[in-house]
Amino acid sequence: MNKVWWSLLLLLTLSCNDADDKKIIGKWQSDDEWYEYLDDHTYNSGRAFITMVKGFKYQLDIKKKSLTMYTDDAGQTYYLQYQFKGNDTLMLNNVLNSKAHYVAFYRVSK
């Protein structure tokens, strides 16, 4: 009986971890900026209709709820904390903030 419960718990844990990795895929918009996360672990970003960054890598650490976004400048790697509120809101916080200040991004497309 214990083996069955541990197997179910492991299956649920693994499926929950995959959820964030798949849930982030799509385009997210705040008031003045947007991010588009692709399933090949690259992202695009910009403001309004202007694309400012295209095709850079990102990495999710699901256990730590952290999102690392790389750029072409080693000094400009972005370290963020993330949270999802439902399926249509992505909350991002810069880990360098002394006090958590999450910014809401709303799903534009999947």
Domains of the chain (ranges; CATH) run: 2-109 (2.40.128.370)
Written as six digits, the tokens of 57 are 């890598």
Which H helix or E strand runs over 109? strand 103-109
Q: Are 108 and 29 in contact (CB under 8 A)?
A: yes
Give per-residue pLDDT as tens, 46-56: 999 899 999 99
Give per-residue pLDDT as tens, 61-91: 999 999 999 998 877 899 999 999 998 999 9
